[in-house]
Amino acid sequence: MAERRIIAVVLLAGVTAAMTLGALTPFLAQLSDEFALPFATTGWLASGVTLVAGLTCMPVGQWADTRRLRGPFIAGLLILAAASMASASMSHSEALIVLRVGQGVGYAAVVVLGPALLARLLRAERARLALALWGMCVPVGLALASVMGGLLSASGWRASATAIGGLALVTAGVARLTLPDIAGRPRQAVRGRGRGVWPLAVAFALIALVGVAVVTLLSTFLSTVHGLAVSDAGLVTGVVAASSALGSMSAGALLNAGVAPQRLLAAVMPMAAASAGVLLAGSTVVAALSAAALMAMNGLAVSALFAMVPVVAGDRTAWAAGALTQLGSLGTLLGPPLYAAVMERSGWAALVPVTILVAAVGLGCAVAALRQRPGRPRPSPSRPWPSSADPGRTVPRSPREHGVRPDRS
């Protein structure tokens, strides 16, 4: 039961952080009018949180591997809460930009330290399941932000920012009451250089690139090629994006049944066939169903990559999570303009070979990561610490198993 509470609280924090990514997206036109900004500038307001994450996640993870995690994790949620609620009272665009940067700092702390907490606090098999479910935090958070934007459309973006800030504040309080605090490993005891993390992070960036690019351009494709009304195309795109969460939940179920995370990477290659179904089908229904299948496989593959973090990174879980998140953020930034440039130059059908190439390289990088996994740990004479990457060994269920008193301060 304690492990389930830990998983629930950390996943709630991840979803809350992801909601800040999409908090302004439903209100871009309103922001453009209210602050007299070019529409492109409001787009940067929406993506600024991702940009900050793309620059800071690896340093945060490098810092965190040898330190306690609960305090910084809660601090990240509090920064999110404060920046979100403060932004609701801003009347100048410059101040709003600064607060979006603050949200990016809080987001980076939560998305890096969340996976590290799961790996540190849970048994190995439970950690793999939880890390797979972590992969659905971003799509679920973005979907909830869109739903909230629709419900609060009459009240505007300030009401949405306040609501997300309030949720982050409540989550921080629950995390303080629920999560134990375990000291990090001594720096000299952190084994391996985590060389396999780099190809794993590149694989994550490439798979995420495909998913975000498809979701970003799907509405335009359905409206221009298949003649759907813009509102209908947006509705279909929302449903398609949500199917990514189904893939993540499927990954969790398969891992819980004992399937190794690397076996789930087989979901990557059918993404290419699904992209052909989207872009080459003459039927709108077939295109939409193919897009949903592609996003479900994308979610399953992303969750498999997160579940591989303890296998590849050993004790450097926080740094590995930071690497995946940072390169993934860069992939999500580059994916839509890359796909758009190819489409403008060569047409929609040219995106099929692009998807095949990106998926194949991503799969190759994931396989390369497994070949560079760390060896068995060297026992520390002062304090042995089991690693979730070692077969038959588990991380502690609670701090007391290693004689560490939980920090309740």
Same domain, yes or no: 155 and 143: yes
> Most distant CA pair in the chain: distance in Å?
68
Q: Write 143-146 long-range contacts (CB < 8 A, 24+).
A: 143/238, 143/241, 143/242, 143/245, 144/15, 144/19, 145/18, 145/19, 145/20, 145/21, 145/22, 145/23, 145/25, 145/26, 146/22, 146/25, 146/26, 146/238
Task: For residues 7 and 2, give the distance between their C-alpha atoms in angstroms, rounded to a whole number.
Answer: 9
pLDDT in tens, 347-384: 888 888 998 999 899 989 998 888 876 654 444 443 33
Q: Which of 190, 213, 228 is the last residue of a domain?
A: 190
Task: For residues 316 and 296, give the distance between their C-alpha atoms in angstroms, rounded to a whole number.
Answer: 29
**pLDDT above 80: residue 92:** yes
In a domain, 409, yes or no: no
In a domain, 220, yes or no: yes
The arithmetic mean of pLDDT across residues 313-331, rounded, is 82
358 and 342 in contact (C-beta within 8 Å)? no
Same domain, yes or no: 139 and 238: no
Same domain, yes or no: 40 and 144: yes
Q: Fill in the amino acid letter for 33.
A: D
pLDDT at 184: 60
Q: Which residue has the tokens 């910084």?
A: 72
- Nearest residue to 244 via CA among 205, 297, 288, 204: 297
- Nearest residue to 242 via CA among 295, 306, 305: 295
pLDDT at 293: 92
pLDDT at 403: 40
Same domain, yes or no: 220 and 167: no
In a domain, 383, yes or no: no
* Residue 400 pLDDT grade (very low, low, confident, very high; cuts 50, 70, 90): very low
Q: Which of 190, 223, 252 is the last residue of a domain?
A: 190
- State the angle between helix axes of 317-346 and 351-371 in degrees (0 to 180), rounded to the nearest 10: 160
* Number of domains, the chain: 2
In a domain, 408, yes or no: no
**pLDDT above 70: residue 186:** no
Mean pLDDT (the chain, rounded): 80
Q: Fill in the amino acid letter for 127.
A: A
Same domain, yes or no: 256 and 308: yes
Other C-beta atoms closer than 10 Å to the C-beta of 94 total 9
Least confident of 133-142, 144-153, 303-312, 382-391: 382-391
Same domain, yes or no: 236 and 182: no
- State the angle between helix axes of 197-224 and 351-371 in degrees (0 to 180), rounded to the nearest 10: 160
Q: Which residue has the tokens 């059908």?
A: 349
Same domain, yes or no: 75 and 27: yes
In a domain, 363, yes or no: yes
Query: Angle at Cα 184 formed by Cα 178 and Cα 190, nearest 5°?
Result: 140
pLDDT at 382: 39
Same domain, yes or no: 277 and 318: yes
Query: Angle at Cα 176 formed by Cα 184 and Cα 394, nearest 5°?
Result: 40
- Determine the structural domain holding residue 248 and report its residue range: 192-374
Whether the CA torsion 234, 306, 356, 266 is positive or negative: it is negative
Q: How far apart are the first and last CA of the chain?
A: 23
Same domain, yes or no: 266 and 158: no
Instruction: Please report, for residues 150, 303, 364, the alpha-carbon distance to residue 265 in angstroms, rounded to integers and kept in the order given.
Output: 35, 9, 10
Q: Which of 167, 190, 213 is the last residue of a domain?
A: 190
Task: For residues 340 and 182, give the distance between their C-alpha atoms in angstroms, rounded to a whole number.
Answer: 46
Least confident of 84-93, 151-160, 303-312, 374-383: 374-383
248 and 136 in contact (C-beta within 8 Å)? yes
Q: Fill in the amino acid letter for 354.
A: V
* Residue, of 242 and 231, whose pLDDT is higher: 242
Least confident of 60-69, 274-283, 346-355: 60-69
The full DSSP string for 285-316 is HHHHHHHHHHHHHHHHHHHHHHHTHHHHHTT-
**pLDDT above 60: residue 392:** no
Least confident of 58-67, 82-91, 383-392: 383-392
The arithmetic mean of pLDDT across residues 62-67, rounded, is 77
Same domain, yes or no: 156 and 236: no
In a domain, 274, yes or no: yes
Same domain, yes or no: 2 and 103: yes
Query: Angle at Cα 223 formed by Cα 221 and Cα 228, nearest 5°?
Result: 135
In a domain, 394, yes or no: no
Query: Angle at Cα 11 formed by Cα 302 and Cα 181, nearest 5°?
Result: 120
pLDDT in tens, 194-241: 678 889 999 999 998 888 788 777 877 888 888 888 678 777 877 888
Question: What's the gap between Cα 41 and its chain centre?
Answer: 24
In a domain, 399, yes or no: no
Same domain, yes or no: 157 and 201: no
The arithmetic mean of pLDDT across residues 245-260, rounded, is 85
* Residue 289 pLDDT grade (very low, low, confident, very high; cuts 50, 70, 90): very high
CATH code of residue 255 = 1.20.1250.20
* Residue 136 pLDDT grade (very low, low, confident, very high; cuts 50, 70, 90): confident
| pTM of model > 0.85 | no
12 and 174 in contact (C-beta within 8 Å)? yes
**pLDDT above 80: residue 47:** no
56 and 326 in contact (C-beta within 8 Å)? yes
